[in-house]
Amino acid sequence: MGVAARPDRLVSVPLAIVATLLAPTWAAQDSVAAPERYTPVVAVLERMVTREMADKHLPAVSLVLVDGQDIVWARGFGLARPRDSVPASAATVYRVGSVSKLFADIALMRIAQQGRLDLDAPITRYLPEYLRDSILAPLGMTHSAFFEPTADQAPDLAAAFMWASDGRRFPAPMLRRNEPSGALYTTVTDLGRFLVALFSDSNPVVHHSTLERMWAESLGFFVSRFDGHARVGHDGAIYGFATTFAALPDDRLGVAVVTTLDGANVVTDRIADAALRAMLALRADRTIPEPVVTDSLPSGFARRVAGRYRRGKGAVDLLERQGELWLSRDGSVVPARVRALGDSLTFDDVLAFGGSVRLPQDRVVVFGDSFTRTADPAPPAPPKRWNRFFGEYGWSYETLFIYERGGRLHALIEWVEDDPLTHVSDTVFAFPSSSIHVGERVTFRDARAGRATAAVAGAVVFPRREIGPQDGGQLRVTPLRPVAELLAEAQTATPPAESGSFHAPDLVDLVSLDSTIQLDIRYAGTNNFLGSVFYASARAFLQRPAAQALLRAHHRLRALGYGLLIHDGYRPWYVTKTFWDATPPEQRWMVANPALGSRHNRGCAVDLTIYDLRTGRPLDMGGTYDEATERSFPDYPVATDQERWNRELLRQVMEDEGFTRTVDEWWHFDYRDWRAYPILNRSFAELGAL
């Protein structure tokens, strides 16, 4: 127990000297070619990784295979830094999250093996300045580091990405971790060297008998059975990175897989499982098994079955999104994608794989629970006292959403943990027993006096994030130059040339079709994102087939007591160019590139919402028109069931008539024949006679 009295013994030799003495001279390798006998294994895995990356939109994947004392294959797929077009490789540096814990645990076992461990002392006494020289260097992991990447690692560091359930993706933060449990930066080849050491009878760090004890007692390692074989390993997930590290110690086969998409451990687990099965089959001289592959659903199938299904107080929503089917149980805002698997259906997306889904006539059966199709009337408004809680809290990379779902207050943490909250007191709510946060509470600060300024979940204080105008007004963008100057320049510019044949333009004034179609043409006044007038009159035009389809949607809504309110239809090309030239680059996602023209320019796009025929007021959509914030994404977790129901009603009636909603604006719909019409540049003054 000498360490308790002499902690300096652990750092008595400078790290650089120890690393030089102990580290094998292994250079960073972009890839490790497989021996000929491994060709069938590589072929299967390359197909699987390529397919999963395309299906799940994974930016980068790197993996390594170990057989006994050899790294038999290592390579990268995709782009480690997409912005710079840097390819991923076996030398790409990743953060591996909780896989780091294995090294901390082995470090402690090494100290215990040497008889120097004080079990009552804090772990931080032993680990700082120790992991690199006593663990990483002897293992040959010379391209690995704890806490932050070294200068040598920095050029090879991968960019990772976070995602939200509404479809957004954004760069993950590189927040420094001060504890070793999630702070390892490494490559898959270095993880391969760690696997080699685990299988070695002469492990340079700890005795093999110590490792066997760790596996037998589940010390640090996850221990399980895999196809009848003992399996050890660990998963890691940290701000945009997902890692699977798995080994079959009795067979001395191992694999490590890393990707740069947050929470994608289901995918890395499946790749690792396929690799282990392939290596076992190769060793047994069996045919390499192909991984299970799901298929897309038949065209139109998702649209036919979409709707609400109930079973007692429980409910399932089948959602159609761009031809795919998603299932949300009990109102979760994190649905699971449903795919075909032979003659059956199953789940397959970034967060889930497997399970049984059946769709007999007007029913859905999920894991044996049967739900019957039912009407989906407009939900009641939530209690007004909850308005002070609703909204976003925290930071862009770690956000807490508070919203209403099914008549209960909900908390959505990190975009995947969706929990109903139980009332404790006026401003305090508890997480349910099914939550990973069981036993913890959410306390809203300053909520007795008005809108909460922060939400305290457990011990973490999430400050309120102001998203969108709180008074329902129009958000503004500061133009790069005066709009009047840009508009004058655009009116003298020439639209992009187009080749091919197009339908003759036949623009129709929408109000002329039905006087109950209301207008709120923002670009005919100054109540728009640039605060300037662009149209000579407050009118809306569409190509005749699109206009007739919109009229049918309006009539469907009238039968329900609603109508359509139009913000914009046909837009002259010079206006699109002005929008582009005036908008800062970081916000140009909300405007079309004039070099390509827009669907508005073709008279086949419409911006609109729904209004109540009785009151004449627009329905609350949980965001305002032309709002340059996350709330504009159609599947953003808006505050109430009413807002979600309103958005879904608009989507359904428009898509049923041949329109398609864009992925980043809940109000924008394109007509299916937009490609058949040319880019137009006629001003509203020229259209005045229509």
Tokens of 90: 């076996």
Q: 347 Cβ partners below 8 Å, 6+ apart?
A: 327, 336, 337, 338, 339, 353, 354, 355, 357
Beta bridge partner(s), residue 408: 405
Cα separation of 238 and 243, whole Å? Answer: 9
Task: Kindly give the pairing relationship between strand 398-405 and strand 391-395.
Answer: antiparallel
Compute CA 300 distance to the chain's CA centroid, rounded to the nearest angstrom: 26
CB atoms closer than 10 angstroms to residue 612: 13
Instruction: Report yes or no: 69 and 149 within 8 Å, Cβ to Cβ.
Output: no
Predicted local confidence at residue 22, as pLDDT: 34
Instruction: Report yes or no: 456 and 464 within 8 Å, Cβ to Cβ.
Output: no
Cα separation of 134 and 548, whole Å? Answer: 74
Task: Kindly give the pairing relationship between strand 324-329 and strand 253-259.
Answer: unpaired
Beta bridge partner(s), residue 541: 509
Predicted local confidence at residue 628, as pLDDT: 78
Angle between helices 573-582 and 483-491 (to 10 degrees): 140
User: What secondary structure letter does DSSP report for 134?
Assistant: I
- Please provide the DSSP assignment of 323-374 as one string: TEEEEEETT-SS-EEEEEETTEEEEESSS-EEEEEE--TTEEEETTEEEEEE
Compute CA 307 distance to the chain's CA centroid, rounded to the nearest angstrom: 24
Cα separation of 206 and 208, whole Å? Answer: 6
Predicted local confidence at residue 128, as pLDDT: 52
Compute CA 181 distance to the chain's CA centroid, rounded to the nearest angstrom: 24
Three-class secondary structure of residue 657 per DSSP: coil
Number of H helices and E strands in the chain, helices first, is 12, 36
What are phi and psi for residue 644, nearest 5 degrees? -65, -40
Cα separation of 317 and 297, whole Å? Answer: 17
Query: What is the C-alpha radius of gyration for the chain, rounded to an integer number of angstroms?
Result: 29
Cα separation of 690 and 684, whole Å? Answer: 10
Region of residue 407 (left: phi > 0; alpha: psi -120 to 50; beta: else)? left
Instruction: Report yes or no: 280 and 229 within 8 Å, Cβ to Cβ.
Output: yes
pLDDT in tens, 26-78: 456 799 999 999 999 999 999 999 999 999 999 999 999 999 999 999 999 99
Q: 501 Cβ partners below 8 Å, 6+ apart?
A: none
Three-class secondary structure of residue 387 per DSSP: helix
CB atoms closer than 10 angstroms to residue 300: 10
Predicted local confidence at residue 471, as pLDDT: 59
Tokens of 561: 């007591």
What are phi and psi for residue 320, nearest 5 degrees? -100, 125
Tokens of 334: 């994190």
Report residues of the chain scoring pLDDT below 70. 1-28, 116-128, 177-180, 470-473, 689-690
Three-class secondary structure of residue 234 per DSSP: strand
Helix residue spans in 64-166 (DSSP H) = 100-113, 131
pLDDT in tens, 558-583: 999 999 999 999 999 999 999 999 99
Instruction: Report yes or no: 542 and 603 within 8 Å, Cβ to Cβ.
Output: yes
Three-class secondary structure of residue 51 per DSSP: helix
Angle between helices 208-216 and 100-113 (to 10 degrees): 120
Beta bridge partner(s), residue 315: 310
